[in-house]
Amino acid sequence: MKYTVGFSRVLSKTLIFALLGWFAFQPDPVNAKIYKYKDEHGKIHFTDDASKIPLRYRNKGSVKKFKGVSEPAPAPRAPSGFPGQPSAGAGGSEIKEDAGLSSQEVALVGKTIQVFKVGIELANRYENVQLSFSNGQGAVNAIQSALPLKESLASELAGTKVPELQEALGFLKQSIAADQQTKSVGQGLKKRIAAIFNRLADEEKQQTALIKKLEKALKDSKKKKAEAKKKKEEEAKKKKEEEAKKKKEEEAESEKEEEAESEKEK
């Protein structure tokens, strides 16, 4: 529901709690941690690098970490650059790229999901607030604080061949362009603030839909890799059985030849 000047926004509590509950039980694909902290002026900052958090804020309980799960071991970097090139293990044991996402792509999908969750949290923060200058400026400050994180991700996604990540990159480019124009509440106070809040709400829906697609891509990739692994194991088993059969036939043939030679000697 859109904000209109002079009226408060009507929200569905049930929908909000259902959405938050859904995310609470969704497994994060990688450990792409995002950190949030508040400075002495009350300004919110986001970063994916803990070393960038000023020391004076690290031990004050002001840092929040968005948790993931274990990140896959990084594969060797392809000579032509990330992403897309599968690593060639000894004896060609690596699963081919068409069998699913590479480990780098899995990590990128995970990071993209985490960044989008930051955007969703930001939108939720301003869903049920009044159209006031302080709330409007607070939203602007939060948008600007999260902007470097989005720009960094967009840079990493450049050149990706994964359709879901390409779609995520398209969203990021549009969102970043809008963020770069959102530096103050400007003139026409209530209209300007309403437009900011409405954009956050619209982007929340887009990010929620993109997260579903990204999580499906991870699930499909995992299934493909499992199928490829099973096929590889079956082929190896078949090859081993054929080699054992051939060896047995050779041994039987050798025994016949020995018996024939023995008969001649008699």
- For residue range 94-124, what is the model confidence (pLDDT) as tens digits? 444 457 899 999 999 999 999 999 999 999 9
Inform me whether the pLDDT recorded for 35 exceeds 50. yes
CA distance 266 to 262: 6
Higher pLDDT, 1 or 206: 206
Higher pLDDT, 227 or 16: 227
- For residue range 239-262, what is the model confidence (pLDDT) as tens digits? 888 888 888 888 878 877 777 777
Query: pLDDT exceeding 90 applies to what percent of the chain?
Result: 36
Which structural domain range is residue 79 located in?
13-32+68-228
Q: What is the pLDDT of residue 171?
A: 96
pTM value > 0.85: no
Residue 46 domain flag? no
Q: What is the pLDDT of residue 98?
A: 59
**Neighbouring C-alpha atoms within 13 Å toward the C-beta of 246:** 6
Residue 241 domain flag? no
Average pLDDT score over residue span 42-54: 72
Residue 125 domain flag? yes
Residue 257 domain flag? no
Mean pLDDT of the chain: 75
Residue 141 domain flag? yes
Residue 233 domain flag? no
How many other β-carbons are positioned within 10 Å of the β-carbon of residue 225? 16
Structure tokens at 228: 């490829």
Residue 3 domain flag? no
Inform me whether the pLDDT recorded for 30 exceeds 60. no
- Distance, C-alpha 91 to centroid of its chain: 31
Structure tokens at 100: 């699913």
Residue 86 domain flag? yes
Residue with tokens 């792509």: 105
What does R_g of the chain's alpha carbons equal in angstroms? 28
Q: What is the pLDDT of residue 61?
A: 58
Domains identified in the chain, total number: 1
